[in-house]
Structure formats: C-alpha cells, structure tokens
C-alpha cells in the first residue's frame, strides 16, 4: 500500500488473523508506532531501544521487530496541513494490526474532544486493558503492593462516557425533562430546575462482546478467576443487565456451570483447576482491592466502573504514571502509556519511560514473545530496586511510603532506559 507520509519498512511482514480468530505473528513483524506529543518524543525512542535490545538478547537474529512510524497529534498536523487525525494513519494501523503510541495532546479551540477517544471510537477499540502489577521497590500506601497483580478489562464503547448528555437549562435538557416526567411517568426527580441530564447506555451486544473477550483472555492466560464488577444492586437494568448478560453468555458459549456457593460460575479445564467467574458490587470491589488484592486476577467491567477501579489500583502500586494500557478489539491492538504529555518537562530528557516500556511488555506478551517481555519486566524491577530512578520516583524525605533509598541516584530518561538494559 502506498502512503503519503508513511514509509513502509523494506523488510518484515504484516501480522495476520486466521479464520479461527487466532493472531499469526511472523518472526519479523511490522509494528506501527506513534511517538506522540510532549514527553512522547522523549520516552518512545528509548522504549523502542529497550525492546530491540531485549528481543536481540532473547532471540538473537531469529526474531526482529520492524518499526513503522505513523502520525497523529501535533506531528500529524505539521505533515498533513493541519490534520491532527489523518485517515492514512488509521489505514496503516489496521494493516499492521499492532501499534504502540505515546501520549497525545488535543487541539485547543475545537477539533476532537480527545485524540485518544477519537482513536478508540474510529477503530471501535471496545476493550481498554490495564494491567496493574505491584513492584516492591516503588512507593505505595500498601504494606505488600506486590500482592496486586490484576488485569482490568473495561468496556470503552458505552456507559455514561458515550457522551449523551444535555446541559442544565438548555432547550434540549428541558425537552428531555418534560418527556421523562410527562410521557414516561418519572416521579423520582427531586430537582427539575437547572438539571443536567445524561444517559447511561448498556447494551446486550456491548456487554456480551466485552465478557466474551474477557473469558477468552482469562482462558488463554491460564488465569485463576474472572470477576465481573457492576453496580447492579442499584442500577438493575444497566449494570445489573451487564452482569446477567455476562453470566448467560458464559453458560451458553463456554459451558459454564454453577459454583457450589450459588453465586459464581465455573468453566472446567482439562489440565488445571476450573476458571472461576465471580461477581462483585463496584463499591465493595474498591474495598476488597485495598484489603485483599491477591484474590483477584482478571476483571471485566463497565466503562465508568473500570475507570475508577483501574486508577485506584494504579495508585496502590506506584501511580498512573508508570502503568501500561492497551485498547483492543478482535482485529487491532493499540498499546499506550497511561500518562499525559507533561509539556512542562518535554524535551528535557527527564521523563520516566516506565509506562511506555511496560506498555511494550504488554505488547510482547500479547504477541506471545514472553521471554523478551519477562526479561524487560524483571530488569525494570531490578532497576527500581537499585534506587536508580527518574526524578518523579526519587524519594521525598517526608514520604514514609517510599521504599526507594534516600541515597537514590536520579537518572535522565535515556540513562534510566540504559540501566534497564544493563540488567538483562
């Protein structure tokens, strides 16, 4: 395929998906990347260097990633006459199937509400994945942060984040209030003057595809349990339906049977213990993740619940700034750091590349290049433990939760990445 500004590598092969839906990863795949904006230009090149060195260390010349740069955000606007979101980027990512990106800014004074949201919506990346794993050397409010090792699979296509709402006092809001009260017989609105209205939409199709993805993920990754998190005790026809549709799908498509406790399900496996499918009310889940995070493995939940849960879990193990993420569907996998562009330190070689590096680890695990993924993950943990860190992880003398030594050495972005490589 010919592109206007994208240069396709001369070597390497595209990833394919077979008739059964299994991803076929060649030994030398072409993977798209977007450097992004702000500190993306600092962290993304060092991430690629860490990945390249790990792949070479583990597989010698047998495997290699061929990187293909594509554009979004400020870089795209410069190349494509002000177009922040070029269509050829979407086409290239769909062809490559796997991509990794840095943080993106959003145009001021109009344009997309969020380039990240626009990417997810344009490509229907309905699964937001956050893998939250504790590192014992990082600051944490928990005594044993390493007990936290939870993958949150959150729907990103529905719920209150779909953006269906009307401003208080607007004509549209007044029409909706009139319709609810006069046509639908709603009597439980305590205040109807100056009242903003939003719609929470949860569909059977959206719920089923998220839970189906989560069950397949849990089975393929030999997980002990899948927990469906919801607020169905109050929101019976949205969150409650999400849970009911999810359980029904597990029984119909995966032959799940009732657990002996009468609340959960089991999916039998021939070579290991059954996969347990649990259900937990959202507010109780937040409490349990603080007190006993070790009881959870994979989580499937709705959009807003997943947002709250993933950020809380990240705070337990070092903060959102070092957490990886992915946005996925059955045909495209997009990996990304969870932090923003941090314009105030952009270009200073100070930014922490850990989130980008761990997003690459998540990508390598998705590709089943586990040897390289585990190598990087272990090297990163050794680097944290050596108290050689970027400025944001350097201990504050008043911070009793920070286990990094007060004699720590503050490294630049590139020097930190080099220390990771030295621990291979």
Q: How many domains does the chain have?
A: 3
Task: Assess contact for 321 and 139: CB atoms under 8 A.
Answer: no
Same domain, 155 and 34: no
Same domain, 139 and 84: no
pLDDT for residue 136 = 81
Per the structure block, which two tokens stand in for 146? 């390493």
Same domain, 302 and 357: no
Which of 325, 341, 359 is where one domain is finished?
A: 325
Same domain, 380 and 402: yes
pLDDT for residue 405 = 54
Tell whether the model's pLDDT for residue 16 goes beyond 90.
yes
pLDDT digits (tens, 9 = 90+) for 340-383: 899 999 999 999 999 999 999 999 999 999 999 999 999 999 99
State the Cα–Cα distance between residues 225 and 246, nearest whole angstrom: 14
pLDDT for residue 320 = 80
Same domain, 104 and 121: yes
Of 132-136, 156-160, 288-292, 361-365, the least confident: 132-136
Which of 301, 325, 349 is where one domain is finished?
A: 325
State the Cα–Cα distance between residues 342 and 105, nearest whole angstrom: 10
Helices (H) and strands (E) in the chain, counts: 12, 18
161 catalytic per annotation: yes
How much of the chain exceeds pLDDT 90, in percent? 82
Average pLDDT, the chain: 93
Same domain, 133 and 225: yes
Same domain, 33 and 8: yes
Asked whether the CA dihedral 244, 248, 253, 259 is positive or negative, the reply is positive
Which of 161, 217, 239, 350 is an active site residue? 161
pLDDT digits (tens, 9 = 90+) for 307-320: 999 999 999 998 88
pLDDT for residue 106 = 72
Which of 35, 155, 297, 307 is an active site residue? 307
Tell whether the model's pLDDT for residue 108 goes beyond 70.
no
pLDDT for residue 362 = 97
283 catalytic per annotation: yes
Same domain, 135 and 275: yes
End-to-end CA distance of the chain: 37
Same domain, 249 and 150: yes
pLDDT for residue 372 = 98
Same domain, 23 and 62: yes
pLDDT for residue 48 = 98
Same domain, 268 and 144: yes
The reported pTM is 0.93
The number of angstroms, rounded, from the C-alpha of 223 to the middle of its chain's C-alpha atoms is 18
State the Cα–Cα distance between residues 188 and 116, nearest whole angstrom: 36
231 catalytic per annotation: yes
Which of 231, 278, 350, 419 is an active site residue? 231
Phi then psi for 268, rounded to 5 degrees? Answer: -65, 140
State the Cα–Cα distance between residues 391 and 258, nearest whole angstrom: 51
Which of 83, 124, 283, 392 is an active site residue? 283
Which of 300, 325, 350 is where one domain is finished?
A: 325
- CATH number of residue 101's parent domain: 3.40.718.10
How much of the chain exceeds pLDDT 70, in percent? 95
pLDDT for residue 248 = 98
Residue 278 pLDDT class (50, 70, 90 cuts): very high
Q: Residue 142 is part of which domain span? A: 129-159+202-325
Residue 394 pLDDT class (50, 70, 90 cuts): confident
């Amino acid at each position: 395929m010919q592109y206007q500004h994208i240069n396709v590598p001369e070597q390497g092969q595209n990833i394919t998906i077979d008739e059964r839906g299994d991803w076929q990863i060649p030994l030398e795949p072409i993977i798209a990347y977007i450097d992004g904006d702000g500190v993306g230009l600092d962290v993304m090149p060092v991430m690629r260097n860490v990945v390249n060195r790990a792949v070479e260390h583990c597989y010698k010349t047998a495997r290699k990633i061929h990187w293909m740069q594509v554009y979004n955000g400020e870089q795209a606007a410069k190349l494509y006459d002000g177009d922040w979101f070029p269509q050829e980027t979407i086409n290239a990512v769909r062809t490559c199937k796997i991509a990794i990106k840095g943080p993106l800014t959003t145009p001021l004074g109009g344009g997309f509400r969020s380039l990240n949201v626009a990417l997810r919506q344009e490509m229907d990346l309905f699964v937001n994945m956050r893998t939250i794993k504790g590192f014992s050397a990082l600051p944490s409010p928990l005594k044993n942060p390493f007990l936290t090792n939870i993958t949150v699979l959150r729907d990103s296509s529905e719920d209150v984040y779909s953006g269906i709402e009307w401003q208080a006092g607007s004509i549209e809001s007044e029409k909706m209030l009139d319709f609810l009260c006069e046509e639908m017989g709603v009597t439980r609105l305590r205040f109807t003057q100056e009242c903003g209205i939003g719609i929470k939409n949860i569909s059977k199709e959206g719920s089923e595809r998220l839970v189906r993805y989560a069950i397949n993920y849990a089975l393929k990754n030999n997980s002990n349990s899948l927990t469906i998190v919801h607020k169905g005790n109050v929101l019976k026809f949205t969150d409650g339906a999400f849970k009911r549709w999810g359980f029904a799908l597990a029984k119909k498509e995966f032959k799940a049977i009732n657990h002996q406790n009468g609340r959960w399900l089991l999916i039998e496996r021939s070579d290991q213990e059954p996969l347990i499918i649990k259900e937990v009310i959202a507010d109780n889940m937040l409490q349990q993740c603080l007190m006993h995070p070790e009881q959870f493995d994979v989580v499937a939940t709705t959009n807003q619940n997943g947002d709250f849960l993933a950020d809380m879990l990240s705070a337990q193990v070092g903060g959102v700034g070092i957490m990886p993420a992915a946005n996925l569907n059955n045909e495209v996998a997009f990996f990304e750091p969870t932090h923003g562009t941090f314009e105030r330190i952009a270009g200073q070689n100070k930014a922490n590349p850990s989130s980008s590096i761990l997003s690459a680890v998540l990508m390598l695990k998705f590709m089943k290049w586990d040897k390289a993924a585990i190598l990087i993950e272990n090297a990163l943990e050794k680097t944290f433990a050596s108290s050689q860190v970027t400025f944001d992880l350097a201990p504050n003398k008043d911070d009793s939760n920070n286990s990094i030594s007060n004699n720590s050495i503050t490294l630049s972005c590139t020097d930190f990445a080099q220390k990771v490589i030295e621990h291979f």
